Amino acid sequence: MISQIAVMHTYDGITTTLTDPGVITIYSKESSYWIPVRVMPFYLDQNKGMIQIREEARRLVSFLGDCKIFVAKAIKGIVFYELEKAHFDVWEISGRPHEFLDQVLDEEEKDILQQSKKTDIPSPVEISPGQYYLSLIEMHTIRPDVSSKQILLKFIQTGAYQKLEVVCSHVPPWITHELKSGCFSMQAENFGPEEVRLVLTKDM
């Protein structure tokens, strides 16, 4: 059961980026209220060297501990990579924590519930050596209970492909987040108001 969510915000309580001075607060859900349980001032100075930035990213991961959900206005680069590597769920949201914490919790718990119920998750089909295809539009007519993230995330992260073509109604936001990891490139082409063709190419 998820009980904690971490948020990077300004001293005025509005979400911000890690490169702006602010505070990371870990909120815990108690009854129907979100209570701040741990706080750490944080500022990632982009003028620092790569080693120092990586150390700051690891300090952040250490502070978060078992709280595996992190919210910021925007996040990219080394810190995003370190959080992904440590299996954090990263959300990019603008606003104040009380405006979105319940929504984030609901979405995370729905995802966990779906994963626990379904073990036979569909996967892309290999149409030629290293070339894979999947139509999320068709898949969702057959399995509306399975999300695009459930179907594709592990497949993309394992990197067992050279090129992956995905037909969908829109670009899933989590794929945009994964793109920041630098493990693949992506091209998107609109074929209509509700059909997008994505081509993911693994970076060699």
4-115 classified as CATH 3.30.420.130: yes
pTM above 0.85, yes or no: no
Tokens representing 21 are 């001075």
Which phi-psi region, left, alpha or beta, contains residue 77 (left: φ > 0; alpha: ψ -120 to 50)? left
Instruction: Read off the pLDDT of residues 118-150 as tens digits, 9 standing for 90 and up.
Output: 556 788 999 999 999 999 999 888 888 888 998
* Main-chain dihedrals φ then ψ at residue 9, nearest 5 degrees: -145, 165
Packing angle of the helix pair 77-85, 50-64 (nearest 10 deg): 40
Radius of gyration over every alpha carbon of the chain, rounded to an integer in angstroms: 18
Which one-letter amino acid corresponds to residue 19? T
For residue 101, pLDDT over 90 is answered with yes
